[in-house]
């Protein structure tokens, strides 16, 4: 080892850092913002930042997960391949939503794939750091239980929708849900609301558990009613109240209640 290092022609590699906008996207998520400031600070301090292109595999089904993670920009697509070879899209996850804690702590192989949707930045906390945080912050375990309870509630509601609502209503509800999570936060009254997530019709069909042809029929029906527009770069919502009324009518019919 030399007593004094000589300057190198190549600069040393630096670990990627979150931009201010990416950090804010995580910090402002409802669950994360409810954590104590010291815990949030340690999560940012211990997390590793990685950047991915559209389609990059983040997690592989059947392999263990070693990191608890969230996206800071872009989106994540979760998909499961059945034993019959059918691919089922489970969800698209926006920045600030943390995933993987159950798989990391349980230690069993993952039951889904996760891919980057669009250019995506991840903040990942390794298993050892996650376990250390649980020991150092007594309230963290309860917070993770709350996070799990929210995930389970969302899963049960989705299962109920599949069992009780027709495809048109489920499509409409999903469009509203995606726009709320991925679309712009501030839209002037009367202006159209872009979905905020670029999805091909087969991707949307996979998310709903329907065929591309059936989803295309329902999209065209919504478009004829003036509720949405299907553009080359994505879907725009023109009448949010009309879409919400359609979902409410379907929910009332599923429960045997009269409309209105």
Kindly give the confidence (pLDDT) of every residue in the chain, 260 residues in length, as a single tens digit, with 9 standing for 90 and above: 444 444 444 444 457 899 999 999 999 999 999 999 999 999 999 999 999 999 999 999 999 999 999 999 999 999 988 888 888 888 999 999 999 998 999 888 899 999 999 999 999 999 999 999 999 999 999 999 999 998 888 888 888 887 888 999 999 999 999 999 998 877 777 788 999 898 888 888 888 888 899 999 999 999 999 999 998 778 999 999 999 999 999 888 877 755 54
**Residues 6 or more apart whose Cβ sits within 8 Å of residue 32:** 26, 40, 70, 96, 98
Task: Tell me the pLDDT tens digit for each residue of 143-194.
Answer: 999 999 988 888 888 888 878 889 999 999 999 999 999 988 777 777 889 9
What is the SS3 string spanning 47-98? CEEEEECCCCEEECCCCCCCEEEEEEEEEEEEEEECCCCCEEEEEEECCCCE
Q: What is the pLDDT of residue 9?
A: 47
The total of other beta-carbon atoms located within 10 Å of residue 144's CB is 19
Residue 125, sorted as left (phi over 0), alpha (psi -120 to 50) or beta, turns out to be beta
């Amino acid at each position: 080892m030399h007593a004094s290092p000589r300057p190198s022609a190549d600069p040393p590699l630096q670990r990627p850092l979150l931009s201010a906008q990416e950090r804010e996207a995580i910090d402002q998520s409802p669950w994360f913002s409810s954590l104590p400031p010291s815990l949030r600070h340690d999560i940012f301090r211990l997390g590793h930042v990685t950047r991915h292109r559209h389609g990059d595999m983040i997690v592989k089904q059947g392999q263990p997960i070693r990191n608890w993670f969230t996206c800071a920009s872009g989106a994540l697509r979760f998909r499961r391949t059945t034993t019959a070879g059918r691919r089922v899209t489970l969800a698209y996850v926006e920045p600030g939503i943390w995933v993987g804690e159950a798989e990391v702590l349980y230690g069993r192989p993952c039951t889904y794939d996760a891919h980057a949707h669009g250019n995506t930045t991840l903040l990942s906390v390794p298993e050892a750091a996650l376990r250390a945080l649980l020991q150092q912050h007594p309230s963290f375990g309860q917070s993770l239980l709350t996070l799990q309870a929210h995930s389970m509630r969302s899963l049960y509601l989705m299962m109920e929708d599949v069992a009780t609502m027709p495809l048109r209503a489920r499509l409409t509800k999903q469009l509203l849900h995606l726009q709320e999570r991925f679309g712009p936060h501030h839209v002037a009254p009367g202006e159209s609301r872009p979905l905020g997530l670029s999805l091909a019709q087969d991707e949307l069909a996979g998310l709903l558990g329907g065929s591309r042809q059936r989803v295309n029929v329902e999209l065209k029906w919504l478009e004829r009613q003036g509720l949405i527009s299907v553009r080359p770069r994505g879907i725009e919502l023109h009448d949010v109240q009309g879409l919400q009324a359609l979902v409410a009518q379907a929910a009332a019919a599923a429960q045997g209640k009269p409309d209105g």
